[in-house]
Amino acid sequence: AAGGPGWRLPGRVLELVFSYLDLRELRSCALVCKLWHHVLHGDENSEVWRSLAARCLAEEALRTDILCNVPTYKGKVRAFHHAFSTNDCSRNVYIKKNGFTLHRNPIAQSTDGARTKIGFSEGRHAWEVWWEGPLGTVAVIGIATKRAAMQCQGYVALLGSDDQSWGWNLVDNNLLHNGEVNGSFPQCNNAPKYQIGERIRVILDMEDKTLAFERGYEFLGVAFRGLPKVCLYPAVSAVYGNTEVTLVYLGKPLDG
């Protein structure tokens, strides 16, 4: 507690102590005083975050290029806590050991989706999504409320099939919401089709109530406006057997 013997320990000692704590405990520690807050958040690659990343992230996630656009260890830990939920997805998919990739089992006549562990009702947020297998006839990325279904019969655009979700079908470049096509995207002549492995950046702005997309470092434009002031979750839906989709939360989008 503030004023106790641990309050004025040297930063290096505090860092060592903090490196044994979990994320919930670290959040509490950051509220104790300015010194503790600075030790925790002054360096996003400190031993605290490096140690926590080593404990909660799979070795594969740290060793491969899954997190190559998340430069700090604090960012990698945050990305893990914003990854696909193992408890909030279709029964026909599972989250791989790396913690970030969804695998859809080869189930006939089923469309299957997944939401992330954490949704957003305020602020600005960015994440990357990419397909690592065939798209099939429908491959949708976007956002959903907690009420949106994550599984249905047939091969359909599940994300965007009702008023609880908004999606971009990468196969035909259609925007989907409330069971209707809201136009094509991006709005340009002969828009290039999605290529397997290409990272799409999704940008959710809960202040402006918009959802936008980037491909590479090209801003494709705002896809949806007038989003409701409810908790919205990054989500995907897929139809192709054994296809895999990876989602990585990046944090606050960089303007420029």
Tokens of 15: 């860092």
CA distances from 52 to 12, 43, 49, 117, 153 (A): 16, 14, 5, 19, 41
CATH number reported for the structural domain that contains residue 85 in this entry: 2.60.120.920
Cα–Cα distance for residue pair 219/201, rounded to 1 Å: 9
Same domain, 31 and 137: no
pLDDT band at 7 (very low <50, low <70, confident <90, very high): low
Cα–Cα distance for residue pair 47/49, rounded to 1 Å: 6
The residue range of the domain holding 229 is: 80-251
- Tens-digit pLDDT profile for residues 159-204: 999 999 999 999 999 999 999 999 999 987 777 889 999 999 999 9
> In whole numbers, what is the pLDDT of the chain averaged over residues?
90
CA distances from 205 to 94, 117, 190, 228 (A): 29, 18, 27, 11
Are the C-beta atoms of 61 and 98 separated by less than 8 Å? Answer: yes
What is residue 11's predicted lDDT score, i.e. its pLDDT?
A: 66
Same domain, 114 and 171: yes
What predicted TM-score, i.e. pTM, was given to this entire model? 0.89
What is residue 1's predicted lDDT score, i.e. its pLDDT?
A: 46
Count of domains forming the chain: 2
73 is a domain residue: no
Cα–Cα distance for residue pair 78/113, rounded to 1 Å: 22
Which residues are CB-contacts of 89 (< 8 A; sequence separation ≥ 6)?
95, 102, 112, 113, 114, 115, 150
What is residue 6's predicted lDDT score, i.e. its pLDDT?
A: 52
CA distances from 21 to 18, 26, 151, 250 (A): 5, 6, 37, 23
Please choose, from the candidates 250, 20, 239, the residue with its C-alpha nearest in 3D space to the C-alpha of residue 131. 239
Same domain, 86 and 49: no
